[in-house]
Structure 1
Amino acid sequence: MAEDSGIDKAAASLLHRAVEFDHKKRYTEALVLYLEALNILMQNIKEINNAEKKRYVRSKIETYMDRAETLKTHIQTEKTKGTFHEKIEIANNSTGHSYSSVFGRFLDNEVVAIDIEDPYIRAYHQVQNFLCACELFVKNCKNLKCISLLTTEDGNNDQKEWLEKIALDLVTKFNIQLLVQYSSTLHDRQIRLSNGWVIKIGRGLDYFKARESKFSLGTHDLDLRLCHETVVDVYYMKCN
């Protein structure tokens, strides 16, 4: 039903993806796409003069608005019960899985602290991955005050130097503290947000494949980068 040629092409594309995620029970992703598509349709309907076409588009708006409201209620109910769980499977060599796409929708102005446990923020490309995540945190979380990182120690001075440079930039430009601790036994990988969301990525932040060259597409836009196979589990834990 989302492929209907009677509505705006951009909205139809968004709705097609929304329905796909909806069927896969990836409800938070589906909700974001439904709302984006509805916003486009609400703008477009103002410019439609044909009465029949306007009735048709309005019926589509009502249908998808009802579904979006249903998803909102379902997500909120599961959060309240403490049973929310969303699973995202990232296939080998797939694209479209930047940090923004995977967990950006959970980053909002309610987030004041972020705790990251990831044993592999050690090599240069892994620290660069962490830097990309920090950039997203800064953009999406306007009230963010502190990022805590627990990782393993690489045994060379470069790792600490790189992280210290990120910490200096965060505190100088954005008044955000970066606190780094090291553990020799750390295995689990998770991102805890102070708004209650918990994102557990099987491979941690290091699920992107190496770029083919310094000039390959995907060097800067991680949605274009090939990925390793991994699973992302999203939970909600009520804040005390």
Structure 2
Amino acid sequence: MYTQCSREHFVAQNLNRFASLMSDLLIASASDILVRANQLEIESKLTQSLVCYEEGIGILLKRLKSSSDPTLKLKLKDRINVYITRAEEIKNLIQQKKRDGRYHEHIVINENDTGYGYRKLFSRFLDDGTVTSVCIDDPFIRNSFQIEKFSHFCEVLVASASPVQQILLRTGVYTEKPQEQLAKFNILKQDLELNKVAFTWTFSPSLHDRQIVFNNGWVVKIGRGLDYIKKSPHKFVGLGVHDFDFRPCLETTVDIYFEGQTPF
């Protein structure tokens, strides 16, 4: 494992090597993401860091395939190999912390931050293809907007690399319009059944804590639950209507733990 000084030396050294290539917009984009990856690693936000390393590597690979310049190709191959090695080291560190039972990652989402859509936040826990069940405790999946967001979260689960077969929700009753809440849950249940996913829900008047448990051992606790993403100001057209990464967020915190496989 690298110290903070060696990490900073690593990124400075690699930025210098990238300097001659920075006029290339694709490489510049990759460099920004890889700098972000290094900063996240320094902050011990390892799963986020790994996602950024992999994204940056993917962009460099795309640039490598499109290049006919042998000198550029050589430089890119060298940088790609360096960052692949780095990503593997982070994977190993995550695995070690998981085995030791001490994995914890803390993320602060500031008011009006963007880039924290459900796909961006949760896909990393589904990408290993092992999740079959997801349990959500969130007392505020009640009104239309909250259920719309929950439905989008379900889309992320169904479209993921994991064969999700079961979604369990514990929430509170929408006392103002309980029948509307049930009707929307039933619509979602029918749609999920068409995708071979069972959706069940229970109501708890005393539920307060918010957490999402994946049965591969990952647990995500969000201060505001899934309702941390603001409503889109547009109804049909505009960035953020469909892709939640473009939507501003409410201020909240995200805590990520690994607690071992949880059968439910």
TM-score by length of 1: 0.91
Shift in CA distance, 217/36, structure 1 to aligned 2, threshold 3 Å: closer
- Does residue 180 (structure 1) correspond to residue 198 (structure 2)? The answer is no
Note if contact 2:126-2:162 (Cα within 8 Å) is conserved in structure 1: no
Return structure 1 stretches of 4+ with deviation > 6 angstroms.
none
Give me the whole-angstrom Cα distance separating, in 1, the residues matched to 2:227 and 2:156: 16
Which stretch shows the higher mean deviation, 36-45 or 195-204? 36-45
Aligned residues with identical type, % of pairs: 36
In structure 2, the partner of 1:234 is 256
Per-residue deviation at 1:37?
2.3
Q: Distance in 2 between matches of 1:96 and 1:36?
A: 14
Q: CA deviation at 1:55?
A: 4.4
Alignment check: 8 A CA contact 1:211 1:225 kept: yes
Return the match for 1:135 from 145, 155, 164: 155
Alignment match of 1:207 (pick from 181, 204, 228): 228
Listed one character per residue, the Cα deviations across residues 13-49 of structure 1 (whole Å, up to 9, x for unaligned) are 3213222322322111211221232234345446454
Alignment check: 8 A CA contact 1:119 1:187 kept: yes
Question: Partners in 1 of 2:138 and 2:253 — Cα distance?
Answer: 15
Aligned to 1:219: 241
- Return closer, same or farther for 1:50/1:75 CA change in 2, 3 Å cut-off: same
2:186 is matched with which residue? 164
Instruction: Tell me how many residue pairs correspond in the alignment.
Output: 238
Compute the displacement of 1:123 (Å). 0.7
In the other structure, the counterpart of 2:96 is 77
25-34 or 4-13: bigger deviation: 4-13
CA distance in 1, matches of 2:63, 2:81: 14
Structure 2, unpaired ranges of 5+: 1-11
Which of the residues 200, 212, 234 maps onto 1:191? 212
Farther off after superposition, 34-43 or 194-203: 34-43
Q: Deviations over 1:47-67 (max 9, x none)?
A: 45444x444334322332232
Question: Is contact 1:112-1:141 (8 Å) kept?
Answer: no
Per-residue deviation, residues 141-163 of structure 1 (Å, max 9, x unmatched): 44211100000111221001100
The letter for the 2-side match of 1:140 is: S
Counting only pairs closer than 5 Å after superposition, residues 1-240 of structure 1 correspond to structure 2 as: 1=12, 4-5=18-19, 6=21, 8-42=27-61, 44-45=63-64, 47-51=67-71, 53-108=72-127, 109-155=129-175, 156-171=178-193, 173-214=194-235, 215-239=237-261
Distance 2:240 2:58 in 1: 29
Between structures 1 and 2, the one with greater helix share:
2
RMSD over aligned CA atoms reads 2.0
| CA displacement at 1:216 relative to structure 2 | 4.6
